[in-house]
A and B are shown apart, each in its own frame.
Chain A
Amino acid sequence: TQLLEQSPQFLSIQEGENLTVYCNSSSVFSSLQWYRQEPGEGPVLLVTVVTGGEVKKLKRLTFQFGDARKDSSLHITAAQTGDTGLYLCAGDGSSNTGKLIFGQGTTLQVKP
Chain B
Amino acid sequence: NAGVTQTPKFRVLKTGQSMTLLCAQDMNHEYMYWYRQDPGMGLRLIHYSVGEGTTAKGEVPDGYNVSRLKKQNFLLGLESAAPSQTSVYFCASSYSKGADTQYFGPGTRLTVL
What residues make up the interface of A, taking CB atoms closer than 8 Å to B?
4, 6, 9, 30-31, 33, 40-45, 48, 50, 88, 90, 92, 96-105
Contact = CB atoms under 8 A, between A and B. Distances in A.
B42 A98 contact: no
Interface residues of B, number: 29
B43 to A, nearest CB: 4
Contact of B45 (A33, A48, A96, A100): A100
Contacts, number: 68
A42 B45 contact: no
B42 A30 contact: no
A2 to B, nearest CB: 10
B102 interface: yes
B48 interface: yes
B42 A99 contact: no
A45 B101 contact: yes
22 contacts: A6-B42, A30-B98, A31-B98, A40-B107, A41-B107, A42-B4, A42-B90, A42-B107, A43-B43, A45-B101, A96-B97, A98-B48, A98-B96, A98-B97, A99-B48, A99-B59, A100-B33, A100-B43, A100-B45, A102-B35, A102-B42, A104-B42
